[in-house]
Amino acid sequence: MLFFTQCFGAVLDLIHLRFQHYKAKRVFSAAGQLVCVVNPTHSLKYAPTRCAAVQASTEQGILPPCHHHEAVHDPQLVPCTCPLFSCPWEGHLEVVVSHLRQTHRINILQGAEIVFLATDMHLPAPTDWIIMHSCLGHQFLLVLRKQEKYEGHPQFFATMMLIGTPSQANNFTYRLELNRNQRRLKWEATPRSILECVDSVLSDGDCLVLNTSLAQLFSDNGSLAIGIAITTSKVLSSEAEV
Amino acid sequence: MLFFTQCFGAVLDLIHLRFQHYKAKRVFSAAGQLVCVVNPTHSLKYAPTRCAAVQASTEQGILPPCHHHEAVHDPQLVPCTCPLFSCPWEGHLEVVVSHLRQTHRINILQGAEIVFLATDMHLPAPTDWIIMHSCLGHQFLLVLRKQEKYEGHPQFFATMMLIGTPSQANNFTYRLELNRNQRRLKWEATPRSILECVDSVLSDGDCLVLNTSLAQLFSDNGSLAIGIAITTSKVLSSEAEV
pLDDT attached to residue A94? 85
Residue B49, judged by CB atoms within 10 A of its CB (0-12, 13-18, 19+), counts as exposed
Biggest alpha carbon distance in chain B?
66
Q: Of the given ranges (A85-99, A106-120, B216-230), which has the lowest mean pLDDT?
A: A85-99
In this predicted structure, the answer to whether residue A62 has a pLDDT above a threshold of 90 is no
Work out the number of other CB atoms within 10 angstroms of the CB of residue B122: 14
- What does the pLDDT average to over A110-116? 86
* Average pLDDT taken over every residue of chain B: 77
How far is it, in rounded angstroms, from Cα B169 to Cα A61? 51
Instruction: Answer yes or no: do A242 and B179 touch at CB < 8 A.
Output: yes
User: Any residues with CB less than 8 A from the CB of A36 and at least 6 apart, and which?
Assistant: A107, A109, A114, A115, A116, A117, A131
From chain B, the residues in CB contact with A209 under 8 A are 209, 211, 214
The pTM for the full model equals 0.76
DSSP percent split of chain B into helix, strand, coil, nearest 5? 25, 35, 35
Set of chain A residues whose Cβ sits within 8 Å of the Cβ of B213:
204-206
B31 at interface of A, judged by CB pairs closer than 8 A = no
Which chain A residues are Cβ-neighbours of B189 within 8 angstroms? 182-184
Residues in B closer than 8 angstroms to A189, CB to CB, are 182-184
Chain A residue with minimum CA distance to B189: A183
Q: Do A242 and B209 touch (CB under 8 A)?
A: no
On whether any CB of chain A is under 8 Å from the CB of B196, the answer is no
CB contact under 8 A, A242 and B217: no
Contact A186 B184 (CB under 8 A): yes
Domains identified in chain B and CATH numbers: 32-41+74-232 (2.60.210.10)
Instruction: Tell me the β-bridge partners of A154.
Output: none
> What's the pLDDT score for residue A70?
45
Residues on chain B touching A239 (C-beta within 8 angstroms): 27, 179-180, 182
Does any CB of chain B come closer than 8 Å to the CB of residue A227?
yes
Query: Does B47 score more than 50 pLDDT?
Result: no
The pLDDT, as a whole number, for residue A6 is 63
CA separation, residue A176 to residues A127, A200, B99 (Å): 19, 19, 41
Stated as kind and residue range, the H or E segment containing B177 is: strand B172-180
CB-hemisphere CA count at 13 Å for B86?
11
Which letter does DSSP use for residue B151 in this model?
A: T
Most A CBs within 10 Å, among B29, B210, B242, to test the A interface: B242
Cα–Cα distances in Å, from A174 out to A63, A99, A171, B182?
A: 24, 24, 10, 11
**Confidence band of B149 (pLDDT split at 50, 70, 90):** confident
pLDDT confidence tier of residue A75, bands split at 50, 70 and 90: low
Mean pLDDT of B36-63: 52
> Residue B144: helix, strand or coil by DSSP?
strand
State mean pLDDT over A216-242. 78
Predicted local confidence at residue A18, as pLDDT: 56
Touching check for B184 and chain A: CB below 8 Å?
yes
DSSP strand pairing (B183-189 vs A183-189):
antiparallel
- φ, ψ of residue A87 to 5 degrees: the values are -120, 130
Instruction: Identify the band that residue B110 occupies on the pLDDT scale cut at 50, 70 and 90.
Output: confident
Lowest mean per-residue pLDDT among A70-84, A85-99, B222-236: A70-84
Instruction: Give the SS3 label for residue A210.
Output: strand
Does B65 have pLDDT greater than 60?
A: no
Is A242 in contact with B227 (Cβ distance < 8 A)? yes
Residue A55 has pLDDT above 60, yes or no: no
Query: Does the beta-carbon distance from B213 to A229 stay under 8 Å?
Result: no
The ipTM is 0.75
Residue A123 confidence (pLDDT)? 92
Other CB atoms within 10 A of residue A20 CB: 19
- Nearest CA-CA distance, residue B51 and chain A, Å: 19
Is some CB atom of chain B closer than 8 A to the CB atom of A70? Answer: no
Residue A25, phi then psi, degrees to nearest 5: -65, -35
CB atoms within 10 A of CB A221: 10
Residue pLDDT, tens place only, B186-242? 999 999 998 888 888 888 889 999 988 899 999 999 999 999 999 998 644 444 444
| Closest alpha carbon to B141 in B89, B202, B55 | B202
Nearest chain B residue to A229 by CA distance is B242
| B205 Cβ contact list (under 8 Å, min separation 6) | A211, A212, A213, A214, B157
